[in-house]
Chain A
């Protein structure tokens, strides 16, 4: 067999457009899941037993079941009892919930890695609580979690491909459509894999630059 990329060249704009859909659902669910993750973390760190129990259960259930099954539950399961979401919304909701459990754990690890002495030092220097929180806990905390968050962002981006299974028109489902249209199987999937790889490499690179620029002290 011979490789011939000429047939799939005209489809490159379609692929790039689909890649944007993948990036876009990742961005939204990463942001929304991040905010939800903060609340899950706060519930876990709170003094209330019921809240701790809830967030622990939430985290364990999400982290021990596949995203695909979670999407099936949202798309087909809720659909069967009259709560209908289109594929885009199902993927956004599923990825947001999924991401929130992982980011909650990342926040927990990052905040607990800030030594207690630092906070006490802030207080001892006469800094009001909001200043201590912002400069002494939050900033080093974010620096601690940035590599883990980047990793989670890349993982989430890669798992956005699962959206294709419930017919979201993102990169993977577009690749499958193009494969059956052009029958240039090897070429289509190699180019697709390369697009995914280049995007995640760019994300990792961007994060390293941010780390250098935003956290110099």
Chain B
């Protein structure tokens, strides 16, 4: 039984000691909403090609692969058109306007949970209507929006806090969730790469930098650096597989964060995936950039009668 108590105490201290302040969560809230706004601005001219009824892939074809338990933007549009008699374009513009308002409200922390919820549902709706056009970044954005809905991201540096004067909140449990998630992401990503030979011999990097979408470089010149692609492939595997170890050691955290950010910056510039890189850097910073309070004690909530907690520990 002693071991069980020890495990329980370790879990309690890991999740509930007051190790982190609210700033990483504020950073996540503001950074995420700004990234989503930038994404919308980038694709706004082409949005109807992706989610319009007669877009590049028509919505009746897209709907075959949309899960029945998710409301797509087509469902919203059909509902609006049937009840308010708007055209498809008016309905989509309306949904877009609501989405933008919710993101702005989320960034300044106005009705934070509600605006995060609206942004999350609409983001999901747009993504599911355009699911043939999605890639990794959209899943990460959905996941971070989900976290902003369930985490108390509006309890500091927000208009809500000015209005409602919230009591201080312990951010540690939520930061821990982000940290565990990041460790899982990188470990799986690194292990999956390490299985085949192509990341060890540089072939994957070679193929990645020569995808047709970015083949503006001189391929004969690039072919002279085979050794560099091998090194880059091995570097990627090492950074990703050992992320969960070195990010959780105080002495190596800064170095590993720097290496991880360098990895994502190279993805941004060489693979021309700036948005994916930005989301991952934001996720990393929110989870690991802010220093932990080493002297943190396991404190109980101010409102909770501590004697009752102690009763459980003594059982």
Asked if chains A and B come from one complex, the reply is no
What is A's interface to B at a CB cutoff of 8 Å? none
